[in-house]
């Protein structure tokens, strides 16, 4: 920009892309002399983070989502006018006129008007109860309507549609997704990934309809009452959210005579200029030179930076152009990791696909490899751990065989990908690995928040944060600087064990206080993430932090803990009452049988000596619990990271080989440790002799009777990586045995990482079993009194979560609101008969395949 040029820039629209344009323009050095900036926005609030918009439902405030504060506007002298959209552009006079009648002159006009949600023009689309999913105001309206609704339908199975479905599900609605394409996320993933994604989402209770259009919205008494699909099926619903794509907001440009594309979008060149040299367009309203309208934030940011550069540099800068962008995407939808990058559909000639598919585990991975060995793209569903490293390598030869990158870790050693410094790690802001390394080596950055402040990497969609952390750690290690492995970004300085000590010592009783005093509560995820929230919830519960469904605690729980029951693959739930030691009276058996009969449940005796009842809907759970509690049963905690069972043989009471009363001890242990929240589930067993009928040596802690007392084994587990338990102590008397188990469990809970089984913990901690033995039996660290006190507090404060829920109408109300009207069966939960019992009807049967 020369001195002779005018310096008044008017920005129309203040979304994420508009804000990035302001940042890029004001970051220019030296700042153009006399620059004035005016922003004219339609929304009543400044730019906010739409990428993390759904976090608003889980407590993130509008202020926390905001991308522009008072200080930014004041520092740069930016005049931001909200709630008064531009109505007309007079290109000859170089003025714009707002809805309120204000006329503002410009020297350069930047259109960042974004897009608008596409609503199919079906009959009834404007019926009260129909919404779009675009702004905070939209979300406020949806939340208010959801409080009076039981069923919701989302039209659209793309990124935003599945986020909307997740929000409705979290609010307790029975949720349907209707997608016109034959698979979910049709643009990002292929058929195989779509099948796995569909199955995983249906397992979470969301009903998916693909190859289905919307014929009409049913209006009864002036409110949404249903939706008719293209095949004539009618879905009963109280609420409809349209998320069927977006269209560029190019009305202003059309009316002003600017060139627009045949299918919409303001035509721009590689410098984001329209056919009027005084008007630029960026973001979702612009049609780029490659004929695309980009709906992702990363291309929008790139366009914003190009436009700002042209204003600052004067003549067009050939080094800063926009000719296209990477459409790679990685995110978590309803708790499912999904990623697509590069040529995800394998359209290149002579390409081959390296595929791993395990629908039973919910994992699908595909890499597309070119004829010359270059990585062209890929799809990852259920396990997107490798995305951050694979995406930057797109277009380059892989340094390891591709099969090493798609096989599960248990199948063998995994290849390590060394990214070059030129690899773009953060596609939202175009930050390369070399820039991140330089932030560490040249600017003394030591953590991810520091990288964000220094480079903006990781402040967009957030998909690169884990890789950024790895790069920072590796760079610090190369410099000989000690690094610490924190729980997550929000608690980067502390491990789970350290947070446990902080909560215990300071008596912290809430996640909010913990993150406020010892964490990082900045940005759109200020309310925590899927890593720290359940981990802290477990810590609070293990330290007697109150009922897990009360107040803030409820928002911290994993899916099953939300309803004190295990979600099954067809959206129903299982109920597992505790049967200590496997001992149950005939009256108890009759009660369980009558409940299963009356509610039409499937019953199965498990390997842990319990009776599972499957097929209950959410609204039935309190009624089932009521009858079980009245008969003396309580929650078996099958849904929690807690003690599951203490299995036993019949012992010396009945068995001619038994040398101790294994049943009595198993019952005592189960009742003592019931409800004990821990980093991972706990399983135990007691065998009455060395014949080991209870399989105690495959448990987290197992006891085997001897003629002299009891042998205690610890650190065993089954699963995909089975491990034999190790002998901790021999021939213990009863009291010493109990005390040793108490201390072992509390030491594990106190020091283990999140989701770390005792087997992994024992092999990880320095000193292993010998160290544990010294601590719990010889008090080598002088903490046994603390461990004893913690277990004593647990035993004294235990309460059955089912009974406690039933005693509080507020807790019960959450279950009533999550199902159809009383007496009306949930149409999304279906069963058929097999072997004289029910079994779930699944939407499709998938095969494990590879090629």
Binding-site positions for siroheme read 693
Half-sphere exposure of 579 (CA within 13 A, CB side): 23
**Distance between CA atoms of 631 and 151, rounded to whole angstroms?**
34
| Cβ-Cβ contacts under 8 Å for 630 (sequence gap 6 or more) | none
CA count, 13 A, side-chain hemisphere, 55: 22
Distance CA 250, CA 254 (A): 6
Q: Which residues are annotated as a binding site for [4Fe-4S] cluster?
A: 649, 655, 689, 693
Residue 719, Ramachandran bin (φ over 0: left; ψ between -120 and 50: alpha; else beta): left
In the annotated binding site, the residues are 649, 655, 689, 693
Residue 615 sits at φ, ψ, to 5 deg, of 105, 10
In this structure, the dihedral spanned by the alpha carbons of residues 491, 492, 498 and 501, taken in order and rounded to 10 degrees, is: -30
Q: How many CB atoms lie within 10 A of CB 482?
A: 6
Cβ neighbours for 277, distance < 8 A, ≥ 6 positions apart: none
Across 484-628, the runs of DSSP E, i.e. the strands, are 566-567, 573-575, 602-605, 611-616
In angstroms, the Cα distances linking 622 to 272, 617, 628 are 59, 10, 10
Q: Are 578 and 633 in contact (CB under 8 A)?
A: yes
Going by DSSP bridges, is the β-strand pair 682-687/701-705 parallel, antiparallel, or unpaired?
Answer: parallel
In sequence order, which residues have a C-beta less than 8 Å from that of residue 26 and are 6 or more positions away? 37, 76, 78
Phi, psi (rounded to 5 degrees) for 181: -75, 165
Using DSSP, state whether 111 is helix, strand or coil: strand
**Cβ distance 535 to 519 under 8 Å?**
no
Eight-class DSSP state of 260: B
Phi then psi dihedrals of residue 591, to 5 deg: -60, -50
Question: Which of 804, 805, 678, 661 shows the shortest CA–CA distance to 734?
Answer: 661
Cα radius of gyration rounded to whole Å, the chain = 30
Alpha helix stretches (DSSP H) within 281-423:
297-313, 387-390, 403-406
| CB of 582 closer than 8 Å to CB of 610 | yes
d(CA 63, CA 86) in angstroms, rounded, equals 25
Q: Are 315 and 309 in contact (CB under 8 A)?
A: no
Largest CA distance in the chain: 104
């Amino acid at each position: 920009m020369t001195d002779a040029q005018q310096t008044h820039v008017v920005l129309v629209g203040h979304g994420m892309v508009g804000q990035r344009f302001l940042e890029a323009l004001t970051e220019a050095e030296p700042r153009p002399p006399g620059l004035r900036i005016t922003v004219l926005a339609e929304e009543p609030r400044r730019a906010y983070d739409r990428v993390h918009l759904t976090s608003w439902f889980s407590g993130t405030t509008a202020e926390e989502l905001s991308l522009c504060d008072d200080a930014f506007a004041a520092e740069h002298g930016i005049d931001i006018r909200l709630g008064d959209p531009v109505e007309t552009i007079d290109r000859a006079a170089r003025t714009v006129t707002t809805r309120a009648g204000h006329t503002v002159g410009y020297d350069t006009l930047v259109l960042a008007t974004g897009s608008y949600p596409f609503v199919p023009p079906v009959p009834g689309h404007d019926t009260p109860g129909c919404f779009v999913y675009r702004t905070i105001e939209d979300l406020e309206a949806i939340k208010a309507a959801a409080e009076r609704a039981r069923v919701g339908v989302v039209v659209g199975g793309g990124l935003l549609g599945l986020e909307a479905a997740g929000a409705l599900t979290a609010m307790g609605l029975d949720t349907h997704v209707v997608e016109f394409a034959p698979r979910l996320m049709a643009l990002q993933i292929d058929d195989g990934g779509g099948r796995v994604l569909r199955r995983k989402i249906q397992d979470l209770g969301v009903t998916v309809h693909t190859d289905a259009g919307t014929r009409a919205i049913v209006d009864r008494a002036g409110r949404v009452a249903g939706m008719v699909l293209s095949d004539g099926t009618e879905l009963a619903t109280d609420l409809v959210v349209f998320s069927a794509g977006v269209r560029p907001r190019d009305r202003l440009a059309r009316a002003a005579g600017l060139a627009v594309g045949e299918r919409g979008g303001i035509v721009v060149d590689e410098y984001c200029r329209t056919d009027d040299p005084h008007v630029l367009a960026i973001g979702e309203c612009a049609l780029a030179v490659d004929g695309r309208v980009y709906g992702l934030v990363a291309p929008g940011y790139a366009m914003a930076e190009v436009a700002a550069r042209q204003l600052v540099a004067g003549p067009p800068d050939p080094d800063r152009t926009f000719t296209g962008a990477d459409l790679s995407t990685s995110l978590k939808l309803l708790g499912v990791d999904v990623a697509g990058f590069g040529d995800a559909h394998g359209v290149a000639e002579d390409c081959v696909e390296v595929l791993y598919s395990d629908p039973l585990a919910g994992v699908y991975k595909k890499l597309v490899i070119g004829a010359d060995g270059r990585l062209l793209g890929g799809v990852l569903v259920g396990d997107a751990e490798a995305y951050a490293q694979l995406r930057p390598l797109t277009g380059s030869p892989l340094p390891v065989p591709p099969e090493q990158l798609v096989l599960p870790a248990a199948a063998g050693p995994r290849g390590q990908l060394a990214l070059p410094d030129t690899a773009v790690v953060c596609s939202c802001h175009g930050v390369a690995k070399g820039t991140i390394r330089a932030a560490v080596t040249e600017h003394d950055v030591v953590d991810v928040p520091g990288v964000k402040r220094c480079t903006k990497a990781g402040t967009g969609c957030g998909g690169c944060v884990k890789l950024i952390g790895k790069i920072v750690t590796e760079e610090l290690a190369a410099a000989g600087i000690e690094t610490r492995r924190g729980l997550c970004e929000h608690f980067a300085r502390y491990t789970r064990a350290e947070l446990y000590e902080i909560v215990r010592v300071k008596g912290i009783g809430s996640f909010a206080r913990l993150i406020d005093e010892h964490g990082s509560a900045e940005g759109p995820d200020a309310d925590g993430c899927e890593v720290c929230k359940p981990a802290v919830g477990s810590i609070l519960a293990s330290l007697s932090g109150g009922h897990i469904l009360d107040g803030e605690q409820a928002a911290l729980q994993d899916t099953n803990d939300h309803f004190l029951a295990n979600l099954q693959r067809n959206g129903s739930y299982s109920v597992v009452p505790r049967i200590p030691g496997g001992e149950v009276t005939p009256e108890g058996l009759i009660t369980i049988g009558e409940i299963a009969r009356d509610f039409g449940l499937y019953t199965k005796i498990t390997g842990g000596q319990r009776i599972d009842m499957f097929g209950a809907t959410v609204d039935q759970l309190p009624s089932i619990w009521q009858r079980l509690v009245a008969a003396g049963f309580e929650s078996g905690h099958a849904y929690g990271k807690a003690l599951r069972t203490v299995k036993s043989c019949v012992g010396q009471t009945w068995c001619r080989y038994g040398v101790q009363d294994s049943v009595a001890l198993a019952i005592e242990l189960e009742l003592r440790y019931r409800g004990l929240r821990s980093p991972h589930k706990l399983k135990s067993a007691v065998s009455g002799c060395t014949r080991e009928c209870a399989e105690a040596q495959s448990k987290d802690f197992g006891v085997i009777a001897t003629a002299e007392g009891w042998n205690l084994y610890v650190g065993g587990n089954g699963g995909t990586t089975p491990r034999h338990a190790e002998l901790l102590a021999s021939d213990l008397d009863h009291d010493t045995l109990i005390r040793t188990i108490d201390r072992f469990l509390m030491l594990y809970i106190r020091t283990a990482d999140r989701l770390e089984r005792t087997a992994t913990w024992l092999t990880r901690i320095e000193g292993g079993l010998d160290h544990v033995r010294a601590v719990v039996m010889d008090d080598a660290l002088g903490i046994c009194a603390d461990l004893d006190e913690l277990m004593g507090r647990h035993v004294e404060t235990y309460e059955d979560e089912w009974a406690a829920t039933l005693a509080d109408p507020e807790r019960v109300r959450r279950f009533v609101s999550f199902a159809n009207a009383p007496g009306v069966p949930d149409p999304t939960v279906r069963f058929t008969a097999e072997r004289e019992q029910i079994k779930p009807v699944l939407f499709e049967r998938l095969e494990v395949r590879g090629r």
